Structure 1
Amino acid sequence: MIYQGNAITVARSGDDIATLTFDLKGESINKLSSAVVTELEAAVKALQVENDLKGLVIGSAKDVFIVGADITEFHGIFDKGEEYLVEMNLRVHDIFNAIEDLPFPTVTAINGLALGGGCEVTLATDFRVMAEGARIGLPETKLGILPGWGGCVRLPRLIGADNAIEWIAGGGENKAAEALKMGAVDAVVPGEALEAAAQDILARANRGELDYRARRDEKTGPLKLGPIEQMMAFETAKGYVAGKAGPHYPAPIEAIKVIQKGAGEERARAQAIEAKAFAKLALTDVCYNLVGLFLNDQVVKKKAGQYEKQARPVKQAAVLGAGIMGGGIAYQSASRGTPILMKDIKEDAIELGLKESRKLFAKQVERGKLTTEQMAEKLTNIRPTLSYGDFGNVDLVVEAVVENPGVKDAVLTEVEGLVGEETILTSNTSTISITRLAQNLSRPENFCGMHFFNPVHRMPLVEVIRGEKTGDAAVAATVAYARAMGKTPIVVNDCPGFLVNRVLFPYFGGFSQLVEQGADFQRVDKVMEKFGWPMGPAYLLDVVGMDTAVHAGEVMAEGFPERMASMAGGNGKSAIQLMVENERLGQKNDKGFYAYEEDRKGKPKKVTDEAAIELVKSVAKEHREFGDEEIIARMMVPLCLETVRCLEDGIVDSPAEADMALIYGIGFPPFRGGALRYIDAMGVAAFVELAEGLAEELGPLYAPTDRLREMARSDERFYSSQAQG
């Protein structure tokens, strides 16, 4: 044994080939934590003093190769400042350079995921062989940083600047066939042949059939691009990537600049450029929030996984109520392999649901994600029915009928008598109390909410709502089914609007008050879109549907009269209520705050509508000019405060789950990290001061809670820099 550590071993075989194996003890995956990097440094030093070695194979004893750096360390490490980060990266460069400079050929055997720092390890060796099912990539830009351990230097020299920019700026995972086509790997073989293929490459290199020294010269020298080629490659890419990334995500453009600046340089200088750029990005708010988002996502997944372990698997599902929503749920279940019955009382509703499912499957075929045969096979997972005949074998039912408590109650009590005693019933409701809907059920412990967001196939979040009598088995099964559908479930407790809608409607309340005071709704939309929302509040209301918004506003007003009574619109004075009275329901009938026309792809495109502008003017009680910061404060403070209240009321368990629900459910700007991280970024004391100032003029919707005031006084935060959730 040449080296033995907690995560790395280096052994020598009889034919003088060394094998460096990553196998992090106590973990199911390999990751490059600070401790593992220190071990790698020691392992490489041990290799450097070995005599007569003829080659090195780097591999993994786990199902993955290396998933990347240990992201749980990032906030703590990044807090140490720019100088520390530059030095840290240069130290890692020294280790990887030492691998690249070993006096014998080297090859990486990539058996599974090789991402981020894991991918950069592979780039340090002369050759790479990859298992057919493995994937490789550099996803750092998704965390607001760039590859800092040689990815921006070695990858362009290996696969060309254009291809490297696509990989690095896009941050995706690349399949083995694509990696081979690009030249990122030298061979793709079945997993069981990986070791033999790696040994074969080393043997050929030692026989002189493969020139490993020429490979090194290519990777360590300047990029072979003339000045005109460089200008075309980099400037064109910057324009395209800037358009895709948007103004709030600087990392993809910065990565292109790093590749460009280092293109004419030797290895050491190019790596120094990369290390400095990484350090600067690592200290930005965007990076801090995107890393926090990743860590929050891990919290959410871990919690869902714990529920899943307790659940009976859902082998057969059913949805009650076809149409667009039912069809979307049926599609999502069927596409992920869980057969589903789709029941309705009307033939035309069944047909509408099937049409929606077929349309979504057809889009998958168009994109090359499915073959026509696969689509036909998946469609057989949806069984339409007008009767309850086969419901005796159903494990979980999703009720998705009209948002009316009487209708839902009748449907749920009816189906409960026709399913097995252990069958879980769920309601896809956006506002109606789960505890209330359980009142007439004989097995309320088997009932919970399962709130999907529209459109079902696109929106990742499912709220799983626990009523007063909901049992753990019902929650666990519903979480497991949501995960099987490819969704992110977050468990919340019952209250009007649950979590996401309860938080969203104070945001709409802030919008209504702005409009009443004479704000131009189109300007409010532009300001909030510039802030980072995918659409402004008026546009979002058009998408939600004005009638739906009025109904939900009434539920909120009844549940929280002190703060939200004005949102009911009962006096006909709110802009939203006025829209309904004038049959301007939004996209569903092509007119709301905006008018809608079909674009070339048949999707609704918003256009300014003078009739809507005049209608909104009629509710204005005064005419004021609002600055951008004032608009942002008026919109964001009520949303953030309601998130705080949900956490304090125990509706949601942790800041991580609250923030992820808003990002996944209503498109809260990811680079801002969520409502609670947004308060942290401003400073709790500064946020409380802002809210109190607004509350004096605008009332209880803007009033901080006593607990939040206490947090401000004691300088508390929702997140520490190292602990999440």
Structure 2
Amino acid sequence: MIYQGKAISVARSGDDIATLTFDLKDESINKLSSAVIAELEEVVEALQAESGLAGLVIGSAKDVFIVGADITEFHGMFEQGEDQIEAMLERVHGIFNAIEDLPFPTVTAINGLALGGGCEVALATDFRVMAEGAKIGLPETKLGILPGWGGCVRLPRLIGADNAIEWIAGGSENKAADALKMGAVDVVVPGEELEAAALDILVRAKAGDLDYLARREEKTGPLKLGPIEQMMAFETAKGYVAGKAGPHYPAPIEAIKVIQKGAGEARGRAQAIEAKAFAKLALTEVCYNLVGLFLNDQLVKKKAGKYEKQAQAVKQSAVLGAGIMGGGIAYQSASKGTPILMKDIKGEAIELGLREARKLFAKQVERGKLTTEQMAERLTNIRPTLSYGDFGSVDLVVEAVVENPKVKEAVLTEVEGVVGEGTILTSNTSTISITRLARNLERPENFCGMHFFNPVHRMPLVEVIRGEKTGDAAVAATVAYARAMGKTPIVVNDCPGFLVNRVLFPYFGGFSQLVEQGADFQRVDKVMEKFGWPMGPAYLLDVVGMDTAVHAGEVMAEGFPERMASMGGEGGKSVIQLMVEKERLGQKNDKGFYAYEEDRKGKPRKVSDEAAIALVKGVAKESREFSDEEIIARMMVPLCLETVRCLEDGIVGSAAEADMALIYGIGFPPFRGGALRYIDAMGVAAFVERAEGLAEELGPLYAPTDRLRQMAQAGERFYSTKTQG
């Protein structure tokens, strides 16, 4: 044994081949923490000192190769400042360069995921062999940074600038076949043949059939691109990537600039350019928030995983109520392999639900994600029915009938009588109290909320709502089923609107007050879209449906009368209520704040509508000009405050879960990290001061809580500066 550490071992196989194996103790994956990097440094020194070696294979004892750096260390590391970050990068470059400069050929055997730093380790060796099911990529731009351990230098020299820009700017995970086609790897084989393929490459390199020194020269010298080719490759890419990434995500464009600046340089200088750019990006708020988002996501998944371990698997599910929502739920369940009964009392509703599922499967076939045969097979997982005949064998039922408490209560009581005693019942309600819906059930401990967001196949969040009598087994089974459907479940406690809608409606309340005071709703939309929302509040209301918004608003007003009673407008009516009266329901009948026409793909496209503009002007009690900053504050403060209240009331278990729910459920701008990170970024004291100023004019919707005022005085935050606390 040449070396034995906690994450890396190096053994000599045969007389002259060394095998370096990553196998991080007490972890299911390999990642490059600072401790592992320190071990790798010792490993390189041991390899340099070992005599008689003729080759090195780098591999993994786990199902993955290396998933990347240890992201839990990023916040603490980045807080040390630009000089320290550059020093860390320079040290890692030294280690990877030493691997690249070893006096014998080297090969990496990629058996699973090789991402970020894991990909960069592989790029440092002369050759790469890859298992058929493995993936490789550099996803750093998704964290607001760029590859900083040589990825921006080596990859373009290996696969060409165009291909490298596509991989790095897009942050994609690439399949083995694509990696082989581009030249990122040399051989793709079945997993069981990986070791033999790696050794074969070393044999051929030793025999002189493969020129490993020429490979090194190519990777360590300037990029072979003429001035005109450079201009075409980089300037065209910048325009395209800027359009795709948008103004809030600087990392993809910075990565292209790094590749461009380093193109004419040899390895050392190109790596220095990469390190400087990485350090600058690492100190941005966008990077801080995107890293925080990743850590929050890991926390949410970990919590869901704990519930999942306690749950019996859902082998057969059912959805009550077909139509668009029922069809979407049935599609999602069937597409992920859980058979589902789809019941309705009307044949035409069943047909509508099946049509929706077929349409979604057909889109997967069009995109090449499924074959026609796979689509047909998965469609058989959906069994339509007009009766409860087969419900005795169902493990979990999703009730998705009309959002009316009396109808839901009747349907839930009815289905409870035909399912087994251990069957879990759930309600896909967006606002109605789970405790209320459970009051006529014989087994309320088996009942909870399972709130999907529309469209079901696109929106990642599912709120799992615990009522007063909901048992742990019901929550665990529902979380497990949501995960099996490919969704991110977040468990919340019962209250009007639960978490996401409770937080969203104060945002709509802020919008109503703005309009009442004379704000141009189209300008409000533009300001909030520029702020980072996928759509402004007026456009979002059109998508939600004005009648749905009014109904949900009434539930909120009843639950939280002090701050969510209906606001403003002619005769005490809000602009949203007036829209309903004028039968402007939004996209569902092609007119709301905007009018809607079909685009070339048959999707609704919004256009300005004079009738809507006149209607909104009629609501205004005054005419005022608002700055962009005023509009943002008027919209964001009530949303953020309600998120704080949900955390304080115990509706949601942690700041991380609250922020993730808003990002996954309503498209809160990811680069801002969530409502509570947004408050932290502003400073709790500054946020409280702004809220108090608005509350004087606008009332309780803008009033900070006592606890938030205490946090401001004590200099506290929702997240600690170095970790996810």
Retained in 2: the 8 A contact 1:399–1:426?
Answer: yes
Amino acid paired to 1:636: M
Q: CA deviation at 1:4?
A: 1.2
**CA–CA distance in structure 1, aligned partners of residues 160 and 473 of structure 2:** 53
Question: Which residue is 2:601 aligned to?
Answer: 601
Aligned to 1:631: 631
Write the deviation string for residues 487-540 of structure 1: whole angstroms up to 9, x where unpaired.
Answer: 000000000000000000000000000000000000000000000000000000
1:583 match: 583
Give the 3-state SS of the residue equivalent to 2:566 in structure 1: helix
8 Å Cα contact 2:155/2:164 also seen in 1: yes
Q: Which residue of 1 aligns with 2:438?
A: 438
Rounded Cα–Cα distance in structure 2 between residues aligned with 1:571 and 1:512 = 14
**Offset of residue 722 of structure 1:** 2.6
For 1:198, the equivalent position in structure 2 comes to 198
Instruction: Give the structure 1 partner of residue 339 of structure 2.
Output: 339
Does 2:148 align with 1:148?
yes
Residue aligning to 1:515: 515
Structure-2 residue corresponding to 1:717 = 717
The equivalent residue for 1:252 is 252
1:313-365 deviation digits (Å, cap 9, x = unpaired): 00000000000000000000000000000000000000000000000000000
Matches within 5 A, 1:649-688: 649-688=649-688
Number of aligned residues: 725
Residue matched to 1:82: 82
What is the SS of the residue equivalent to 2:9?
strand
Give the corresponding residue for 1:63: 63
The yes-or-no answer on 1:7 pairing with 2:2 is no
User: Partner residue of 2:297?
Assistant: 297
User: How big is the shift at 1:643?
Assistant: 0.1
How does 1:137-536 map onto structure 2 within 5 Å?
137-536=137-536
Name the CA distance, whole Å, in 1 between partners of 2:380 and 2:570. 47
User: SS where residue 629 of structure 2 aligns?
Assistant: helix
> Matched residues in 2 for 1:515 and 1:99: separation?
63
Matched with 1:133 is 133
1:222-244 CA distance string (max 9 Å, x none)? 00000000000000000000000
Counterparts of 1:8 and 1:314 in 2: how far apart (Å)?
40
Mind listing any 5+ residue stretches in structure 1 that lack a counterpart?
Answer: none
Aligned to 2:546: 546
Percentage of pairs with the same residue: 89
The list of structure 1 runs, each at least 4 consecutive aligned residues, that deviate by more than 4 angstroms after superposition, is 567-572
Could you say what secondary structure the match of 1:696 adopts? helix
Q: Distance in 2 between matches of 1:53 and 1:569?
A: 82
8 Å Cα contact 1:145-1:251 kept in structure 2:
yes
For residue 156 of structure 2, give the secondary structure of its aligned residue in structure 1: helix
Distance 1:13 1:28 in 2: 26
User: Take 2:270 and 2:571, find their aligned partners in 1: how far apart are those partners?
Assistant: 66
Shift of 1:13: 1.6
The Cα of 1:661 is off from its aligned counterpart by 0.1
TM-superposed deviation, 1:156:
0.2
User: Whole-Å Cα distance in 1 between the matches of residues 248 and 567 of structure 2?
Assistant: 32
Distance apart, 1:571 and its partner CA: 5.0
- Is the partner of 1:489 in helix, strand or coil? strand
The CA distance in 2 between the partners of 1:544 and 1:38, in whole Å, is 53
Whether the 8 Å contact between 1:64 and 1:114 is mirrored in structure 2 is yes
Q: Displacement, 1:717?
A: 0.2
Tell me if structure 1 keeps the 8 A contact 2:223–2:264.
Answer: yes
Shift of 1:151: 0.3
Contact map agreement 1:550 1:569 (CA 8 A) in 2 = no
| Higher deviation after alignment, 569-578 or 624-633 | 569-578
**1:656 alignment partner AA:** A
The CA distance in 2 between the partners of 1:164 and 1:50, in whole Å, is 35
Residues 691-718 of structure 1, C-alpha deviations (whole Å, 9 max, x = no match): 0000000000000000000000000000
Give the partner amino acid of 2:478: T
Give, in whole Å, the separation in 1 of the partners of 2:40 and 2:389: 62
2:151 partner letter: G
Counterparts of 2:675 and 2:292, CA distance in 1: 12
Change (3 A) 1:5 1:559: same
Does structure 2 retain, via aligned residues, the 8 Å contact 1:554–1:568?
A: no
Q: Is the 8 A contact 1:553 1:568 kept in 2?
A: no
Q: Deviations over 1:387-410 (max 9, x none)?
A: 000000000000000000000000
Tell whether the 8 Å contact from 1:65 to 1:111 is kept in structure 2 after alignment: yes
Corresponding letter in the other structure for 2:10: V
Determine whether 1:105 maps to 2:73.
no
TM-score by length of 2: 0.99
Counterpart amino acid of residue 18 in structure 1: A
Q: Aligned letter for 1:495?
A: C
**Separation (CA, whole Å) in 2 of partners of 1:197 and 1:84:** 40
Distance 1:504 1:569 in 2: 20
SS at match of 1:605: strand
Shift of 1:574: 1.0
For the residues of structure 1 that align with 2:42 and 2:567, how far apart are their CA atoms?
64
CA–CA separation in structure 2 for the residues paired with 1:706 and 1:330: 45
Name the residue aligned to 2:694: 694
Shift of 1:15: 2.8
SS in 2 for 1:429: coil
The alpha-carbon distance between structure 1 residues 664 and 570, as it changes in their structure 2 partners (threshold 3 A), is farther
Whole-angstrom distance in 1 between the partners of 2:724 and 2:80: 19
Tell whether the 8 Å contact from 1:517 to 1:624 is kept in structure 2 after alignment.
yes
| Maintained 8 Å contact 1:554/1:567 | no
Query: Distance in 1 between the 2:388 and 2:627 partners?
Result: 58
AA matched with 1:106: T
Structure-2 separation of matches of 1:563 and 1:570: 19
Once residues 147 and 723 of structure 1 are traced to their aligned partners in structure 2, the CA distance between those partners, rounded to angstroms, is 22
Unmatched runs of 5 consecutive residues or more in structure 2: none
d(CA) in 1 for partners of 2:325, 2:573: 31
Query: 1: CA distance between counterparts of 2:505 and 2:531?
Result: 19
Distance 2:61 2:15 in 1: 21
C-alpha separation between the residues in 2 aligned to 1:3 and 1:398?
Answer: 55
- Residue identity matched to 1:426: T
| Matches of 2:213 and 2:461, distance apart in 1 | 51
Aligned match of 2:25: 25
Q: Would you say the 8 A contact 1:111–1:191 is kept in 2? A: yes
Deviation of 1:721 after TM superposition, in Å, equals 2.1
Residue 23 of structure 1 aligns with an amino acid whose one-letter code is D
The superposition leaves residues 219-271 of structure 1 with CA deviations (integer Å, 9 ceiling, x where unpaired) of: 00000000000000000000000000000000000000000000000000000
TM-score by length of 1: 0.99
Give the distance between the partners of 1:157 and 1:381, measured in 2 at CA: 48
Counterpart residue number, 1:36: 36
Instruction: Name the SS for the 1:107 alignment partner.
Output: strand
Secondary structure of the residue aligned to 2:419 is coil
CA distance in 2, matches of 1:570, 1:715: 43
CA distance in structure 1 between the aligned counterparts of 2:477 and 2:572, rounded to whole angstroms: 43
2:368 corresponds to which letter in structure 1?
G
Inter-partner Cα distance in structure 1 for 2:348 and 2:411: 19
1:567 Cα deviation after fit: 4.5
SS at match of 1:566: coil
1:91 has 2:91 as partner: yes
Deviation, 1:570, is: 10
